[in-house]
Structure formats: structure tokens, C-alpha cells
Structure 1
């Protein structure tokens, strides 16, 4: 009997330390580097440009100093860093690249963003003949410790607000800005859930796992199957009609479509599992809403 107890204690000890090691591994794995952006001035309203009629990407105009050309970045809250595409900016004046690190200044609206450590990735194409010159991604580092309005009603965004708009006073709720991820508590089908808001997942309302997808889709819905590419990964999406409501404190949105994805990277899969999130919300579910995001005080409002 004593021997059995020792074995059981040994198993639980190994399990305990394995969980501790796993916790610290994932904490380090998904922790972003320091925020190297210097941000000045309120932006004022910046008009959103959609990549196509399906609104597959949310683009914002930017300008570099001493360059009259308007360039665009995709606004992606799922990315922890503002990143530029090496092949798209290699010929731009006043932007220096050294060992995949960029040094430069750009303006978005009236906001000036400066860094000596912009992330550079081997992606994109030369912009000479492009009608829309997409040169990078504006990540969640622009939101950190700042207030932002994403207004899909009038197709605009405002960054670096000095104060909370009056019409959102007393209308906000708690959310988590953890590791530069926007994690929103909500209720769906009487279940308390957590959702990641990813503005880079623009064309979808809710991405979730297959089990949740089967519960949320209408039984007689036609399934739309599409293939796409996400940073080199081939993804297959399965989208079905739904008829549910997601409640965010006093606000609610109607869930009309639900999607699950095959082909996510292991990193994306473990991020969702480790964080306990039930799914990922894209822009499409908020297209008739205005969102206030205060990452300094971790308060959010949806109208």
C-alpha cells in the first residue's frame, strides 16, 4: 500500500511540475517584445479603405515625410507588432532597413509614429504600379496604453485619443489586453465565453472550432467552403448561417454566420487553447457598430 501511495504521489508531482513548466513556456512563447513605437498627437478621423467589396482587409492610408505618395497598411489587431513588408518598402526614401529592422517615421492622419525598431518581414511586392500601395501591417502596439475608436458606421478610425468620448462614459465594460491581444468577455447561448478580436480576420463574423461551429450553425444551412492563404499557410474555411446573439455587457450583436478553419498553425491553435478563448471575432460582425477600446484602463464600449 505504501508503495502504491509513493507511485501516486510521484505521478502527481511529475504532473504538477510539468504543468508549471508548460505555463512558463507558453507565457514566454506568446509574450511580445517591448513596444518600440513613439506616438504623437491625436489622429483625428481616418477613413477606412476596404481591399475589395467583400471587405477582406481593413486598410488605412499613411504618409512618409518628404514623400507625397499615399501608402496603405492593413490594420490588424491580431498582430502584436507594426510590421513593414521588405519588398514593398525597399525603394522608399527616408526609411532605413538593417538586418530586418526598420528605422523611420510615418504619419497616419495627424498622428506621427516613429521607431528605430520596426519589424521587417520578407513579404509583399514592389509598389510602383499598384493602385493601392500596401506596404505593411499596423499592429496592436498602436493601441497599447492608448484610446481608440473604430467606427464602422461611418467607416473611420481615430487613434491616440486624449479622453473617453462623452457618449461612451458609463457605457464601457472590462476586457483584457493581454500580450497585445484584445480578449473580450461575452455571453453566447447562455455560456460565458472569451473571444479574441482580430481586425485582420476581416471577412468573418466568428471563427471557432468545429464542435462549437456545429452547435451554432443552422441545421439546414448551406456550407460555403473556401481556400485561402495566411502568411504562407493554406487554410480551408467552412462558413454556415447562424441565428444567435452575442452579448457584451449592455451591448449585443447578431451572429449571422459562423466559420471554422482547417490549417491553422500550431502556434495559433495553442494560443487559443492556452488562453481559454472560444473563438475569434472579425470585423464583419461589427459592421454596424462603433467600438471604443481603452487599452490603458482595459475598458471597451460597443454601440
Structure 2
């Protein structure tokens, strides 16, 4: 599962970007870099698998979405986590060093700003992707079980740059994604659409929560939280007499406390209402983070758990978000 500290960083970036003063001051710090991915035209269906994990001993069967990836010169299927909370894709140094020993098409270059791969070519399912340059994160070991074709070796993260100016149909029941240039006709006829913002390659969706118009960040890299919000909203959405669950997590060496509680309220996206079964807020965040959240106009972040059982459409080309009826 995506490290919890990355969830907090993703939220902080959004709150800063969407607050008036914070945007002006931090615009450069949180500006997404140029998109280095070259994505082919056409429609490509890619199956995904779920990676299970746990948070303080609590099992989560849908902790992360993994997409199958192949690299020229290697017959083995690798995986990348699909994480729309990340504005750009990256690869893990440990696994890439192991792959580089098997193929001539992978060469890690050290630069002043860090390690990179140039002209890196790979396939996500049957979709050919070329990264003119991709960052290499110093993460993970160099162990790959080449003999075990069923082993799950995660070599990086596929971020929101892969859906830039594209359409993604995310079919949770069938564990299937479709990347295309336009919304498929059959899907368009069945989906109910609302608007979508793609500020700095972050997916922001208008929503109505507890009869209040607001916005939420959609992060496919976070499955632990149905809705992560502030304490005031959490109290408003809590089910009467529901018992609170408290979990301690580590974020950049600091202990944060996640408060979870059952809810019987809905979150509305356009004309579509989805039930909220659980809501969460974090204790232990800094004053700056709390202040930015209060003044950003954001209600928080939603993850995969909210949409399990649904088919959703992210059309960044025409800036719209849809849920299939």
C-alpha cells in the first residue's frame, strides 16, 4: 500500500494549491513537471490486480491497484502501482538495476537532480509507452525471482501523467481499465457526468457532502480511506451512537492518529449519490496543514473504497467525471 506519509503529502499539496494565498506562495514548489510520457492513440484495455496489505493489523484486501508491465528484453511480467495521487510516474532503483542486468534498453543515469532513465520504453498491458525521461526513486531491493512467473515484482508507480488529455474508464467490478482518446459510446450513454478539474495533474471533483457544495481529491493510490476529511465534517457525518476506531500511523517519523467512524450519510457527485460507510480524520497534523484545509474549499480526499462496485470515467481531455448508472 502507498506509504501513509505520501497520502499526507498529497493532501497538503492540494490544500496549498487550492488556497488563494497558498497557491501564490507555493505555486512553483507543487507545480507538476512537464509530462514526459508519450501515450499512443487508440483504446487499450488493461486488467489490474489488487495488492493486499494491513494497517496496524487490520487487513485491507484492496490496498493498491497494480497494472501489468513488460520491458523489452524481459519476458517476465512486472507491475506498477496505479497512483493518481502522484502527478508523475517514477520507477524504483532497486528493481530497475536488476532489470538492467538482463537487458540493454535500461540504463540508469545519475544527474545533479537525481537518477533518471532516458528514453525508457515499456508496455502497460498491450499499451506501448515511452518515457522521454523518468525519475528513478532510490527505493526497494534488487531481488527479482526470475524463475517464478507468478511473483509480484513492483518496479514503480504509474501516475496521473498517464491520463493527461486522455479518458480512463475504471471498471472496479471487472478489475479492468480502459485508456482511450474519447469516452466509449456505450459508456457515455450510461454514465452521469459532472465536471472535473485537473489542476497540476491532480484529480479534483466537485461534490455535495451533508448538503454543502465542496470539492474532493480523488487518489487511486489510497484505498484505506473512503473519505478523509476534517474533524468538523467527520462529526457531522458520523452515524448516531457509532463507535470510534483509532489507529496510530507513522508519517515522516511523526505519529499521527487516524480516527474512523461509521456513517449513514451520502456523498453526491452531480446527480449520483454514493453511500458513505466510514469517514476518517487525522489527528497530529500541523497547524499549517489544518489551516490550509479549512480555507482551501476542499472537503478532503476520496479513495478507491468509495467506488468499489462502480464503473467511473475520468475524462481529463474534456474535464468531466462520470459514474455509470
- Which residue is 1:110 aligned to? 126
- For residues 246 and 125 of structure 1, what CA distance do their matches in structure 2 show? 41
- Which residue is 1:81 aligned to? 88
What is the TM-score when the length of structure 1 is the normalising length? 0.85
Q: How does 1:1-303 map to 2 (within 5 A)?
A: 22-42=22-42, 44-52=44-52, 54-93=61-100, 94-99=105-110, 100-103=115-118, 104-129=120-145, 131-159=151-179, 161-166=180-185, 167-169=187-189, 171-229=192-250, 235-262=256-283, 272=293, 275-303=296-324
| Greater radius of gyration (CA) | 1
Contact 2:43 2:181 in 1 (8 A): no
Contact 1:207 1:258 in 2 (8 A): yes
How big is each residue's C-alpha offset from its partner over 1:3-42, in whole Å with a ceiling of 9 and x where there is no partner?
xxxxxxxxxxxxxxxx987542222222111111111244
Structure 1 window deviating more from structure 2 (105-114 vs 41-50): it is 41-50
Using the TM superposition, give the Cα deviation of residue 187 of structure 1 relative to its aligned residue in structure 2, in angstroms: 0.8
Secondary structure in structure 1 of the residue aligned to 2:261: strand
RMSD: 2.5
- For residues 106 and 209 of structure 1, what CA distance do their matches in structure 2 show? 40
153 and 269 in structure 1: CA distance in 2 versus 1, 3 angstrom threshold: farther
Contact 2:210 2:236 in 1 (8 A): no
Contact 1:41 1:110 in 2 (8 A): no
Size of the aligned set, in residue pairs, is 284
With a CA cutoff of 8 Å and minimum separation of 6, indicate the structure with the bigger relative contact order. 2
- For residues 203 and 54 of structure 1, what CA distance do their matches in structure 2 show? 10
198 and 118 in structure 1: CA distance in 2 versus 1, 3 angstrom threshold: same
Contact 2:166 2:182 in 1 (8 A): no
Using the TM superposition, give the Cα deviation of residue 117 of structure 1 relative to its aligned residue in structure 2, in angstroms: 1.5
Q: Can you give the 5+ residue segments of structure 1 that lack an aligned partner in the other structure? A: 1-18
Structure 1 window deviating more from structure 2 (89-98 vs 252-261): it is 89-98
